[in-house]
């Protein structure tokens, strides 16, 4: 059981007598900016995957460029 800021939450809850560890309403339901609540089962981080792969591609290409063009082409180098 992980309790983060539970006292704060219960004190804020409308039902002051509630002793339950879960707030009566989830945070998402109380937040006007949130359109819908997404649970772990329905959440697919496809966007994150896209970004991560994009980042990896950029890093690998830049690495090859830096290593074989900028560095290896920058003679004289320490050869021994």
Q: How far is the CB of 14 from another protein (least distance, A)?
A: 14
Q: Which is nearer to another protein, 14 or 32 (CB)?
A: 32
Report whether 14 contacts 30 (CB < 8 A).
Answer: no
- Cα within 13 Å of Cα(11), Cβ side: 4
- In 3D space, the residue among 28, 27, 31, 9 whose CA is nearest the CA of residue 19 turns out to be 9
Compute the least distance from the CB of residue 20 to another protein, in Å: 14
Interface ranges with another protein (CB under 8 A): 1-9, 11-12, 26-28, 31-40, 43, 45-48, 50-52, 55-56, 59-60, 62-67, 69-80
- What distance, in Å, lies between the first and last C-alpha atoms of the chain? 59
Q: Cβ of residue 68: shortest distance to another protein, in angstroms?
A: 8
């Amino acid at each position: 059981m992980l309790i983060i800021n539970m006292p704060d939450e219960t004190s804020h809850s409308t039902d002051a007598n509630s002793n339950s560890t879960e707030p009566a309403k989830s945070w998402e339901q109380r937040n006007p900016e949130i359109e819908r609540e997404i649970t772990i089962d329905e959440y697919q981080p496809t966007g994150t995957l896209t970004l991560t792969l994009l980042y990896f591609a950029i890093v690998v290409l830049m690495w090859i460029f830096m290593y074989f063009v900028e560095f290896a082409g920058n003679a004289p180098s320490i050869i021994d």
